[in-house]
Chain A
Amino acid sequence: MATGSAAPRSTPLPSLTWTTIRRTAAMGRLYLILGAGISLLLTVILVSRTPAAFQTTFPLEVPLFATLASIGGLITFSSDRTKGVFEYLIAYGVRPRTLFLNGLLATAALASVVLGVALAMGLGLASARGVPIPWSMQEALLLYTVPMCYAGSLFTATVGMIWSSVSTPRSGMNSPVGIAPTVGIAPILLVLLAAEGAPSADYYYITVGAALAILAAVVVLLVMSARLMSRERFLSPL
């Protein structure tokens, strides 16, 4: 009959985090390429214009594309649920909480790719062209760009994962996978517009305040998810 040993497994279940990240990168590669590509293009344009344009806009645009590029995490989660993959993994003893956290880690990994590439390319290009990187920009990168890349992508993923779990599966733009990115990108876009239009003295407060607000929203959603994401929410529809 079956090929493996009949003895119950004594070793713990293997971590599926790395496998999930690899699958997420494969399933979301189009968004990853688009996000990283457009971010790089915009960086080149900004660097070639005035130093002020680069110094104020670059820290604001990177989270936008990191959020877009990390949609693969949500796509994979939604697909795994609909295709019954979670059902099998739970039957093998994987905890639903682990599946949820793996989705978030994969999302953060994709966001890290875009963040890393954008920072390396942006700061590298600026240095090469002699564009100064003042303390205010370093502060914005540290206090807004980096946290907002993760907050924006995790906010999108968490909203989408909870939404796709509590709703009937739909496909296309009308699905949580289609709508959640808009939910995640909207606040980042608002910050970008507000910070660009506001007096420079307010730039710091707007960006840091927004990053803190989105991070707080992610924490609240994660706490809520423990109640909302019951085991049966991970099952494929009958």
Chain B
Amino acid sequence: MANVGAALTTSPGPAHGSHRIEVRSLRAGYHGKPVLDDVSFVIEDPAVYVVLGPNGAGKTTLFRTLAGILEPYAGTVEIDGVRVGRSEAQTRIQYLSHIDGIPDALRVEEALRFYATVEGVGDREVEAVVRKLGIEELRGRFFSELSAGQKKRVSIARVFLQERGIYLLDEPTSNLDPKLAREIRDLVLGLSRADLVLYSSHNLFEAKEIGTYVLALKNGKVGYFGRLADLKPTKYVIGIRAEGAEGILPASSRKGEYYLHELAGPEEVPKLVAELAAKGVRIREVKEMENPLEDLFL
């Protein structure tokens, strides 16, 4: 695993949104059995914090504890200096669960109005999120009749009813088509300019694209917490899509359209490309095949 044990605190940047999450020696779980054990970190730099980990690592448990849904067995969670679970802390958090959370037997608009009532906002905010998420055509339909992707859109719309400052988004782009996933990521990046966004995903390439920081959980503990840019892969592998490479690049290294080639680092890429071109290889594409985040799963 790369850079395990990096700093467990992020410092506020220039666009400081004045929010802070402080977790100290947290132990939390279900029915007396801890899922998270001795988890500590402080977050205060407005950014997207990608929460990674294999299934069962404790991502959803962490989100539920930060949202005040689960009570810790031990340790403390503070939001802007207020212990989580108190109403002053709850009003600073916007939470998106991995499941839709929309009540049965309601039309889309009724469901949004239901949550608007809970949020204490009105029709104007409902109209705004309907437009923002592009769900005008869904508003009169029953939620149960929607496709998985449409349900996710409605569920995400709920998050934007009220600005909160801290966003806990548990797999927000699962079940979404690439276009909509991109739109959601853009919305999330917009939020992260001034707010704290914790974002869990199983898609490592999405995580690499959106994240500034990585919080990797492994067996209920923090395996890595730090800047994504500081993560270095244990090996540097590129994929070369080319014509005329037969006999020059080994056929055994071929994976789909790409020939895989391991180098010491990105600085060696231009030299390799020049050598191949000199040998008559017509290179169409060169791309990194390793994601440093993969190491956090191993």
Which A positions have Cβ atoms within 8 angstroms of B? 1-6, 8-9, 11, 13-14, 16, 19, 23, 26-27, 76, 79-80, 83-85, 87-94, 231-232, 235-236, 238
A2 B159 Cβ-Cβ under 8 A: yes
Instruction: Tell me the residues in window 91-108 of chain B with beta carbons closer than 8 Å to chain A beta carbons.
Output: 91-95, 97, 99-106
Contact stretch, chosen from B124-132, B215-223, B277-285: B124-132
A2 B161 Cβ-Cβ under 8 A: yes
In the docked arrangement, what's the CA distance between A14 and B118, Å? 6
A235 B69 Cβ-Cβ under 8 A: yes
Q: Given A231-B71, A232-B30, answer yes or no on A92-B119 (Cβ-Cβ < 8 Å).
A: yes
A-B residue pairs in contact (CB < 8 Å), sample of 11:
A1-B160, A2-B162, A3-B124, A5-B163, A23-B105, A27-B105, A84-B99, A88-B118, A91-B69, A91-B90, A232-B70
In the docked arrangement, what's the CA distance between A199 and B255, Å? 87
B191 A2 Cβ-Cβ under 8 A: yes
In the docked arrangement, what's the CA distance between A238 and B56, Å? 9
Which residue of A3, A8, A9, A90 is within 8 Å of B69 (Cβ)?
A90
Which of A89, A91, A94 gathers the greatest number of chain B CB atoms within 10 Å? A91
In the docked arrangement, what's the CA distance between A94 and B95, Å? 14
In the docked arrangement, what's the CA distance between A237 and B160, Å? 25
Contacts of B71 in A (CB 8 A): 231
Q: Given A1-B160, A4-B162, A231-B69, answer yes or no on A83-B103 (Cβ-Cβ < 8 Å).
A: yes
Nearest-neighbor residue (CB-CB) of A15 within chain B: B117
Contacts of B101 in A (CB 8 A): 83-85, 87-88
Which residue of A4, A16, A85 is within 8 Å of B163 (Cβ)?
A4
Which residue of A6, A16, A80, A235 is within 8 Å of B164 (Cβ)?
A6
Contacts of A236 in B (CB 8 A): 97, 99
Q: With both chains docked as a complex, state the minimum distance between the C-beta of B70 and any C-beta of chain A, in angstroms.
A: 6
Contact stretch, chosen from B60-68, B237-245, B259-267, B287-295: B60-68
A-B complex: 3 closest residue pairs judged by Cβ atoms: A4-B162, A2-B163, A8-B91
Q: Does B252 contact A (CB under 8 A)?
A: no
Q: With both chains docked as a complex, state the minimum distance between the C-beta of A92 and any C-beta of chain B, in angstroms.
A: 5
Q: With both chains docked as a complex, state the minimum distance between the C-beta of B207 and any C-beta of chain A, in angstroms.
A: 20
Q: Does B190 contact A (CB under 8 A)?
A: yes
The bracket for how many chain B residues form the interface is 35 or more
B164 A3 Cβ-Cβ under 8 A: no
Which residue of A4, A5, A19, A83 is within 8 Å of B102 (Cβ)?
A83
Nearest-neighbor residue (CB-CB) of B68 within chain A: A91
Main SS at interface, chain A? loop
Assuming A4-B161, A88-B101, what are 20 further A-B pairs, CB within 8 angstroms? A1-B163, A1-B187, A2-B161, A2-B162, A3-B162, A3-B163, A4-B119, A6-B165, A8-B91, A23-B103, A76-B104, A83-B102, A87-B97, A87-B101, A88-B115, A90-B68, A90-B69, A91-B69, A93-B91, A236-B97
Which B positions have Cβ atoms within 8 angstroms of A? 30-31, 60, 64, 67-71, 87-88, 90-95, 97, 99-106, 114-115, 117-121, 124-125, 128-129, 132, 158-165, 187, 190-191, 194-195
Nearest-neighbor residue (CB-CB) of B80 within chain A: A8
Nearest-neighbor residue (CB-CB) of B127 within chain A: A3
Which of B31, B99, B190 gathers the greatest number of chain A CB atoms within 10 Å? B99
Contacts of B88 in A (CB 8 A): 8
In the docked arrangement, what's the CA distance between A13 and B118, Å? 7
Q: With both chains docked as a complex, state the minimum distance between the C-beta of A140 and any C-beta of chain B, in angstroms.
A: 37
Q: Given A2-B159, A93-B87, answer yes or no on A235-B64 (Cβ-Cβ < 8 Å).
A: yes
In the docked arrangement, what's the CA distance between A213 and B194, Å? 59
Contacts of A231 in B (CB 8 A): 69-71
A92 B118 Cβ-Cβ under 8 A: yes
Contacts of B194 in A (CB 8 A): 1
A6 B70 Cβ-Cβ under 8 A: no
Contacts of B31 in A (CB 8 A): 232
In the docked arrangement, what's the CA distance between A238 and B69, Å? 14
Q: Given A4-B161, A87-B69, A91-B93, answer yes or no on A79-B104 (Cβ-Cβ < 8 Å).
A: yes
Nearest-neighbor residue (CB-CB) of B118 within chain A: A92
Which residue of B114, B115, B128 is within 8 Å of A3 (Cβ)?
B128
Nearest-neighbor residue (CB-CB) of B28 within chain A: A232
Nearest-neighbor residue (CB-CB) of B190 within chain A: A1
Q: With both chains docked as a complex, state the minimum distance between the C-beta of A180 and any C-beta of chain B, in angstroms.
A: 18
In the docked arrangement, what's the CA distance between A92 and B101, Å? 13
In the docked arrangement, what's the CA distance between A148 and B92, Å? 45
Nearest-neighbor residue (CB-CB) of A75 within chain B: B104
B105 A83 Cβ-Cβ under 8 A: no
A9 B120 Cβ-Cβ under 8 A: yes
In the docked arrangement, what's the CA distance between A6 and B196, Å? 13
Q: Given A8-B91, A27-B104, answer yes or no on A83-B67 (Cβ-Cβ < 8 Å).
A: no
